[in-house]
A and B are shown apart, each in its own frame.
Chain A
């Protein structure tokens, strides 16, 4: 199965200068767990911020999410895989890095996102299509 078939193409991103509070708003609005953080300055790299980062690095420490930049808590660099990578390799990569999602890149641009749930569902569909494998 190709990564392209199972990835989410719709990427939600946020500028790294935005506040963590804005990021929380976006996640709640769109019912998603992560955002792509686009670098606002040439010196910065793109990153990703997840609900995990928001809770562990800001909320649980009693910090004010309004006053913190998303760029300061984002994880960098982006974990990118080429879009013709196999699902098995991606799963292995996720296990090794202990992350729940990786980005799918085509050349230098991010084209999609594959999360654990996508892989799980893909595996289930695969099983259903090959019942005696």
Chain B
């Protein structure tokens, strides 16, 4: 049972890093108080994990057969990769790291299911695209429907405040539903946990990360997005939430950070602004390659070492 600690640690770091994508802008600009933001995020992450978190877990079990030790090694190498990439400022994805690790691990003995893998990779590529399209559409649509009708100063002020809270909660729900599989999915695959238990424990570990260690990231990430106007900031979070929710229904864990980047780009399209440069795109593409490869290499190494020690 101690092996679950690896997953819980991964959940903790996921919560600490990814909660910034939800209320980061709102907190950095003083719209929502930090304490309120983290409690709301934590609560909705757990809710999302418990209600819909099991949907993505099956994907991991289809990818490769795993045993308990493997699950521990995988989560730890994922956590290490994530820490390194986050420090390098690459919008890295936990699910990409984990999938890379699973593939790397399975290279030594059982062959992974490459059909399942290609399905996952296609979803990764589609994540920023889907977020971009949905944020562009939402921006155009909501602007016509709501912002042009709510014109009075105080009413619009209220609309933004409530809107930011609601979309934030939805995004937290989506994050919980989509990414809890990253945290405990491999343990469920390994048979160490029942899937509903896995969802609950994973959700709680993400929530712990949010509650204990998200302040610094939230402030730095949030300040990076602030140049957006309040309406666009709200649309970005809503598009991110919708994207995460969509891929949860497709049962594939994807990257919330990359969804955010795509959504910001979509707002740029809708408003005819240049919100993103070639360097950012390059960085994402770089992350797509580096994240799975790095984690895969680590897992492969760990597998080799463990095999050597046993023998």
A and B touch in the complex (CB under 8 A): no
A residues with a Cβ closer than 8 A to B are none
B residues with a Cβ closer than 8 A to A are none
